[in-house]
Chain A
């Protein structure tokens, strides 16, 4: 089974900062990785699919990269409305489907 390691678990940054979250799979998952945003009290929202594809309607400050075992999610310029918890999700095989989450706060 696949294990997903997402880091950091929490992050504090200032408006305008570049923010990076990483997700590592325990085995090669090709590009079968998605990124979701969950705001407090709300359902998750798909931001990035297949590692690097921006979902329709998602602002271009969000991006994803990587393949194989190492993946990166980036917010190029943090906005106040980006306060949320972010999750990676693999769909290659059984095991950990979602990463543990990264709670993003404004400094």
Chain B
């Protein structure tokens, strides 16, 4: 059974940093691209970032480019999101999601998100 378990969320002040983790199990992690998607309270879904199976292709939404860094450790079956210079508008539930494919689509955008974790909540507030 595929499992994606996010961790690392919490309350953080504006301008500070936070690192999210996603522990994957139940599938061959290094066969698939992975993504982060967020959902602000009461709002819709927003793709944040994606990374190909070998970290050779990485993409970011314009809203986080230059502030967030996605990475993965295939030996540890783990996905990460380093979030710097956090803003109030980054407050959201952050989901880790498994792609259907090993690579990102051309343009390094979100692919087809087959499995999702339950999310970790990030609150940016003073």
Contact = CB atoms under 8 A, between A and B. Distances in A.
B118 interface: yes
Given A43-B95, A97-B47, A101-B44, A91 B109 contact: yes
B115 to A, nearest CB: 8
Contacts of A106: none
A103 B67 CA distance: 32
Chain A interface category by residue count: 20 to 34
B95 A46 contact: no
A43 B116 contact: yes
Contacts of B114: 46, 55
Contacts, number: 60
B56 interface: no
B12 to A, nearest CB: 23
A44 B107 CA distance: 23
* Top 4 A-B pairs, shortest CB-CB distance: A43-B116, A97-B47, A98-B45, A101-B44
Interface of B: 37, 44-47, 59, 61-62, 95, 100, 105, 107, 109-114, 116-119
Interface of A: 1, 32, 34, 36, 38, 43-46, 49-50, 55, 87, 89, 91-94, 97-101
